Amino acid sequence: MTDWSAVRYMRFAAERTRPSRDLLAAVPDPVRRAVDIGCGPGNSTEALLARFPDAEVTGLDNSPDMIAAARSRLPGVDFQLAEVADWANSAEAGSLDLILANAVLQWLPDHQTLFPRLLALVAPGGALAVQMPDNLDEPSHRLMREVAADGPWSAKLAGAAGARAPRHSADWYYALLRPGAVRLDIWRTTYFHVLAGAEAVVDWVKETGLRPFLAPLTEAEREDYLSRYRAGVAKAYPALPDGTLLLPFPRLFIVATAAGR
């Protein structure tokens, strides 16, 4: 898959950043050392520093373009090019007050192993704070799979839906993290984003959920796929009288406070 584009990703900067602020509002004080995993272009890191201005913060991402944008945005922060899973396996247990994982862990497999490992890296009283899109059943994502299955590219895209981790319920994550947590705060919020028509929905997901579906296609196939997908989006999200539409976007939030060891 090609590298992420920080510029295109941040076309919806306000909408993408708000969940990280909502997540950080539930993180307990104090935070002295924090890591923002999957930091992207640094917008979530900026929110972290606004919430905990005295914290020593490191940002990690596997996209060179995202890391370059983050370094430009926050030149005083240590941003590193790294795979989250590799970092988690090598980091020192109990060394952090906060791990912020905003809209990243849905791209990583084996949550049954990964989540407890991340919580183990947090010192007693510190927090693992996670936000993940919970929208695989929404029309915006159901249509991705339907268009993929109903076209000349079906063989190419047979595995595209598997790029995201399997969806689990809130009680599944509660049971997984409860043994290592003294407190668990889990909630689900649906944001209703006001967008300028179906094309804006396509622009939004082209830099996230659509990436695994578009990457294997030729340029001509990509245009055909997007045309079919755009038509489906226009039917699924009817325009309001002013020409805009509301895009419901559910997200799952988890703040796990680490127990003593």
Residue 187, classed as helix, strand or coil, is: strand
Can you list the domains of the chain with their CATH numbers? 6-258 (3.40.50.150)
Closest CA to 255 of 111, 103, 99: 99
Contact 29, 96 (CB under 8 A): no
pLDDT in tens, the chain (261 residues): 455 555 555 667 888 899 999 999 999 999 999 999 999 999 999 999 999 999 999 999 999 999 999 999 999 999 999 999 999 999 998 889 999 999 999 999 999 999 999 999 999 999 999 999 999 999 999 999 999 999 999 999 999 998 888 889 999 999 999 999 999 999 999 999 999 999 999 999 998 899 999 999 999 999 999 999 999 999 999 999 999 999 999 999 999 999 975
Q: What is the pLDDT of residue 15?
A: 87
Closest CA to 129 of 16, 46, 20, 17: 20
| Helix, strand, coil percentages in the chain from 3-state DSSP, rounded to 5 | 45, 25, 30
Q: What is the pLDDT of residue 30?
A: 94
- Distance between start and end Cα atoms, the chain: 40
Kindly tell me the sign of the dihedral angle through the C-alpha atoms of 117, 121, 123, 129: negative
Beta strands 33-37 and 96-102, pairing class: parallel
Residue 159: burial class (beta carbons within 10 Å; 0-12, 13-18, 19+): exposed
How many Cα atoms sit within 13 Å of 182 on the Cβ side?
12
Contact 22, 185 (CB under 8 A): no
Closest CA to 101 of 89, 119, 113: 119
d(CA 161, CA 213): 8
Q: What is the pLDDT of residue 4?
A: 52
Q: What is the pLDDT of residue 181?
A: 97
Q: Is the omega angle on the peptide bond into residue 139 within 30 degrees of 0, that is, cis?
A: no
d(CA 119, CA 98): 9
Structure-derived torsion over alpha carbons of residues 63, 169, 11, 79, reported in degrees to the nearest 10: -30
In DSSP notation, 217-249 reads: S-HHHHHHHHHHHHHHHHHHSPPPTTS-EEEEE
Q: List Cβ neighbours of 145 (8 Å cut-off, separation of 6 or more).
A: 160, 161
Residue 221: burial class (beta carbons within 10 Å; 0-12, 13-18, 19+): middle
